[in-house]
Amino acid sequence: MAAMGCDFARAFFRPMAPVALAVIFVCFWAPLPAAAESIAEAAARFEDAYREVTPSVPVHEWFLPFDVADRKAPGSIRVVSVFGAPRQSFQPGHLHSGLDLVPRRKTKDGSGPVSVLAMGPGVVCSVHLSEPHTTVVVRHLLPDGSALFTAYKHLAETWVEPGQEVDASTKLGRLFTAAEAKRLGGNYDHLHLEVRTSFDDRGTASWLSMTREELEVRFLDPLVFLKSRLAVLAPMPADRVQAFVAAARELLGKPYRFGARLADGAIDCLGLLFYAAERVGCGWRSYSVYPTRSIVTRELGTPVPGLDPVARRFLDFSRLRSGDVLWLLMPVKNPAELPIGSIDGQNVWVWHTGIYTGDGRWIHADYTTGRVAEGRLASFLEENGFAGLLATRMSSGPAPARCLRHKPMASGAPARPAKPPEK
């Protein structure tokens, strides 16, 4: 965000005659009259620009905010200034609350103004500040039920209004051209992009966050966010996925018993994962018996963006792939582990797991029936009160911290006939 001094809500800037141009520049560069005010005090002045509206659909997929050829490619943008850098504008010494960026090619055909697009579906909750700092803020609904905000600053024109629903194809406005920015006396021909977990400050924390701790109360590093959320996770090669799923299916009908590893013919939900993982990777003793630790260390794959976690009501089965490992979540504390995340504002822990087999189905050691079974995932989630799930995906195979080679897990007693798969 460039250094300017008269950065107030639109209400503070009335249309002025062209003859007052010199006065305008003096105003822009003057110190803020309320520079010493708190974030809460400053927020009150911007309340009228805010609309409290909840988006109707969650964001399952994120995109770059420019109309570039590949909106999933981080290499399509050029960074002008990074998150957290010190600033001397407004409140001197505040930290940069966003990422300044431009597309590497200004437009697809290399000419004309640069349009700024929403990064995902949401609703415009604020359009505030005046030229050259005009900002559009979009509120997003995440798959875990929480809110996230993206803010787009330094727009020469805005094409949306507060309360308007948008999606990733919606043009919010455009950037200044180099010539326009020069006339305004600053380098405003870039996008100042913010990713926020809160907008309770109504935008004022952008220039009033003085420490890293204060900054991280509301802001995420947009570059880190983009790199993690633009990633498209490929599954394992088809033959490895087939071997992984086929190994799990060998256990159909086996009895369920907590902690069992087939020594007596029984197995539990983690045991099923270990048995299948052994067929495509390291020995079954290589893997952690603590689900949260396994997820964090990515032993059985990387958390899938948009499914990390996802509330049951927002689960989009088209985003799952055969061979994905599913970790089912409840807001019930597991004293042995830390929560893996939150759903609808409540911490959640892993209480069951299995393997997705495609077409809305999964295979798991079912503690409710006492058998390894393959069935409909949606009905199991609903009938057993799970809040949602987290999915991990292996791109090449399991990756435990230590790969142990030892005697394979025995298949144990012959399987009892399994029930026919649910239709």
pTM for the structure as a whole: 0.84
74, 174: one domain: yes
pLDDT of the residue at 88: 77
Residue 291 lies in a domain: yes
Full DSSP string of 200-242: TTTTTHHHH--SHHHHHHHEE-HHHHHHHHS--PPPPPHHHHH
- Strand, helix or coil for residue 326: strand
- Measured from the Cβ of residue 338, the count of other Cβ atoms closer than 10 Å reads 12
Using CA atoms, how far apart are residues 139 and 148, in angstroms rounded to an integer? 6
**What percentage of the chain carries pLDDT values higher than 90?**
80
pLDDT at 413 over 60: no
- Give 305 or 110, the one with higher predicted confidence: 305
164, 287: one domain: no
124, 249: one domain: no
pLDDT for 302-332, tens place per residue? Answer: 999 999 999 999 999 999 999 999 999 999 9
pLDDT at 417 over 50: no
Question: Which tokens is 14 given?
Answer: 């009335």
Full DSSP string of 52-65: ----SSB------S
- Give 260 or 37, the one with higher predicted confidence: 260
Strands 219-220 and 302-303: unpaired
- Measured from the Cβ of residue 383, the count of other Cβ atoms closer than 10 Å reads 10
250, 213: one domain: no
- Mean pLDDT across 235-253: 97
Question: Which tokens is 161 given?
Answer: 């209004």
The residues pairing with 115 across neighbouring beta strands, listed in sequence order, are: 174
224, 245: one domain: no
- Listed residues 210, 229, 248: the one ending a domain: 229
pLDDT at 10 over 70: no
213, 286: one domain: no
The residues pairing with 390 across neighbouring beta strands, listed in sequence order, are: 327
361, 262: one domain: yes
pLDDT for 359-387, tens place per residue? Answer: 999 999 999 999 999 999 999 999 999 99
Residue 37 lies in a domain: yes
Q: Which residues contact 261 (CB under 8 A, 6 or more apart)?
A: 267, 271, 274, 284, 409
pLDDT at 9 over 90: no
Residue 34 lies in a domain: yes
Using CA atoms, how far apart are residues 4 and 17, in angstroms rounded to an integer? 21
pLDDT at 414 over 50: no
- Mean pLDDT across 74-89: 92
- Mean pLDDT across 140-147: 98
pLDDT at 19 over 80: no
> What's 38's domain CATH number?
2.70.70.10
302, 204: one domain: no
- Strand, helix or coil for residue 179: helix
Residue 31 lies in a domain: yes
Task: Quote the number of domains for the chain.
Answer: 2
Question: Which tokens is 144 given?
Answer: 């875990």
Residue 399 lies in a domain: no
Ramachandran bin of 414, using left for φ above 0, alpha for ψ from -120 to 50, beta for the remaining angles: beta
- Listed residues 204, 229, 254: the one ending a domain: 229
Residue 423 lies in a domain: no
Q: Which residues contact 148 (CB under 8 A, 6 or more apart)?
A: 59, 139, 140, 142, 195, 196, 197
pLDDT band at residue 405 under the 50/70/90 scheme: confident
Using CA atoms, how far apart are residues 270 and 253, in angstroms rounded to an integer? 16
91, 152: one domain: yes
200, 109: one domain: yes
69, 211: one domain: yes
Using CA atoms, how far apart are residues 116 and 312, in angstroms rounded to an integer? 32
248, 205: one domain: no
- Pick from 283, 260, 236: nearest CA to 403: 283
Residue 422 lies in a domain: no
pLDDT at 12 over 70: no
State which residues form the domain around 216: 10-229
pLDDT at 41 over 50: yes
Residue 405 lies in a domain: no
- Mean pLDDT across 174-190: 92
pLDDT of the residue at 175: 97
pLDDT of the residue at 204: 95
- Listed residues 208, 229, 250: the one ending a domain: 229
- Mean pLDDT across 264-269: 95
